[in-house]
Chain A
Amino acid sequence: MTRAKLGLGAALLLALAACGPKPIDPHRQIGANPYLPDIHQYLVPPMLVPKITPWGGATPTVPSGLKIQALASGLKNPRSLYVLPNGDILVAEAGPPKTEINRPKEFIMSLVESQAHSKTKPGNRILLIRMTATGQPSAPTVFIDHLTSPFGMVLVGNDFYVADTNAVLKFPYQAGETTITALPVKLTDLPGGPIDHHWTKSLTASPDGTKLYAGVGSNSNITENGMPAELDRASVWEIDRATGARRLYATGLRNPNGLQFEPQTHVLWAVVNERDELGPDLVPDYLTSVKDGAFYGWPYSYYGQHVDPRVVPQRPDLVAKAIPPDYALSSHVAPLGLVFYNAANLPPAYRGGAFVGEHGSWDRSALNGYKVVYIPFQNGRPNGMAQDVVTGFLGSDNTVRGRPVGLAIDTAGGLLIADDVGGAVWRVTAAP
């Protein structure tokens, strides 16, 4: 009798785990006014973690008119890219710092999520790839070693800045150098461990070069590590390059990445990873201009005044001033890379707008993301539906060969894609 009861309970539990809203067509959540369904809080969140299959000789897929080739392969978790003025391509190999376990859930989640990430131990260094005279890439060499989960990179004059997960470091750089061994000077600390939930610190410089902007993601999904852990997080920092002094430029951005200035209007933009566990279609991740002093909602609300019931105490005063982002990308696509295309190599249909690298979902019963999309812009604003440009990271039967992360444009106008799971850097150019 007792055993029968237990069996019944287990069956009931499975049934409850299976129920919940069916995922909608992601296109309904792309653009300025995404459809936002009602909140659904799961008993057991659906975790669909794809199996990893190596690329072998295969490549991602591009539409006709474009071609794609591997610039480098066999890398250890390449996550972000930067192109130096002489054309040298920098690749940051990085993985998450070691985190502490606060709850039984985190122990189980870390096991599940590790299935969708590369098994290779990340390099925690920056590599350099130089194009030879024949247009072939050199084998990657070590540019800067012994970093701490590096992600953001930017060069201003002869100062090369790296955003480690816990600090912005300044290295001296001379044009043409292929390795830097000088010790860095710390410009400022960034919020790092011991929790460091969102660890990728994106970095860019203002067009006049006086300020740096760093993306500092939240320390939790939705404050479950406590509010004190969120001090100065979920924000974009403005750092004075001369003094290292900093202020919060914009707040309420759960995990801002891909910080870039739009070349025509010189406005700062970012892609932002929104919160999980409110359903397969909440909350859509987004692309947005980052306005000075603006509050974008996290953790109290999303897309303006949609209050999140998981956050207590609530702050109606902050919810009232939360502004909605500019352009939704649909839910759980995990955008981590952003680059505006202003070069002339790709066909005119890809000029003037933004490419976004979508790392891909793991907590949605139909996978979403796992591609690079192009969003047309007009007068410095998104204008039109996002188009798939680089796909094929996701195979049939939910196997995954790679996951796009950081993007960059090389000096010849090629679109570069860091693929952390595939251990590759891809280059997209116009087909001859």
Chain B
Amino acid sequence: MPRQNPRSTASIGGHPIHAMLVSIPISCFVGTFFTDLVYWKTAIIMWANMSAWLLTVGLVVSILVVLAGLIDFLGDRRIRALRAAWIHGVGNALVIVLSIFNAFVHSRDAYTSVVPTGLILSGVVVLILAVTAWNGATLVYRHGVGVRPEDRA
């Protein structure tokens, strides 16, 4: 009898919503760090504006990503039993909180909307994302979260 994988509760046609959408905020928050770096060095305001939009879009899409992730987490006891799932959840909660702060810092006008606080926050978020994304991959590729059993046959 094949081993049952932990199930994704928030899914469409067997495709977990969390995995579908999570790349959007990750790209936005990593992008924010790079546009912040360019603004720090050039002081060309377009880059700071780009950071503000990336942060906003990242946070808005995160609402869905967090909801889908929470539903999966609460929907299957076997997910909650995984240490990687806890690291993933707590780490990304920190990412969201820091990014909300960062969005407010980026709402300031001109240079101090990025340098130094915004740039530091963007950088810290990227570091945390490196850990949480690794753990997210662990959940899927090692523990098979959301992977259908027949796919592993």
State the interface size on chain A (CB cutoff 8 A): 29
Report B45 CB to chain A, min CB distance, Å.
Answer: 4
Which residues 92-109 of B have a CB within 8 angstroms of A? 92-94, 96-97, 100-101, 103-105, 107-109
User: Chain B residues with Cβ under 8 A from A222's Cβ?
Assistant: 109-110
| 8 Å CB interface, A368-412 against B | none
Asked whether, in the complex, the Cβ of A310 is within 8 Å of the Cβ of B104, the reply is: no
Q: Does A311 contact B (CB under 8 A)?
A: yes
Stretch at the interface among B4-12, B30-38, B49-57, B145-153: B49-57
Complex formed: what's the CA distance from A5 to B96 in Å?
A: 10
A311 CA to B109 CA in the complex, in Å? Answer: 9
Instruction: Point out the residues of chain A lying under 8 angstroms from B97, CB to CB.
Output: 5-6, 9, 12
Contact with B along A291-332 (1 / 0, CB 8 A): 000000000000000000111110000000000000000000
Closest beta carbon of chain B to A230's beta carbon, Å: 11
The DSSP consensus for interface residues of chain B is helix
Does any Cβ of A come within 8 Å of B89's Cβ?
yes
Determine how close the nearest CB of chain A comes to the CB of B57; give it in whole angstroms.
Answer: 9
A185 adjacent to chain B (CB < 8 Å): no
Main secondary structure of the interface of A (DSSP, over half): loop
B93 touches A5 (CB 8 A): yes
Contact A277 B105, CB 8 Å, known A1-B89, A104-B53 = no
Q: Which residue of B lies closest to A3 (CB)?
A: B70
Interface centre among B66, B103, B109, B112 (most CB of A within 10 A): B109
- The answer to whether A1 touches B110 (Cβ under 8 A) is no
Write 13 A-B pairs (CB below 8 A) sorted by A numbering. A2-B73, A5-B97, A6-B96, A6-B97, A9-B97, A13-B101, A103-B52, A224-B113, A226-B44, A226-B45, A309-B111, A310-B112, A310-B113
Q: Which 7 A-B pairs have the closest CB atoms?
A: A9-B97, A224-B109, A5-B93, A310-B110, A312-B111, A226-B45, A105-B107
Q: Which residues of A contact B (CB under 8 A)?
A: 1-3, 5-6, 9, 12-13, 41-44, 102-105, 220-226, 277, 309-313
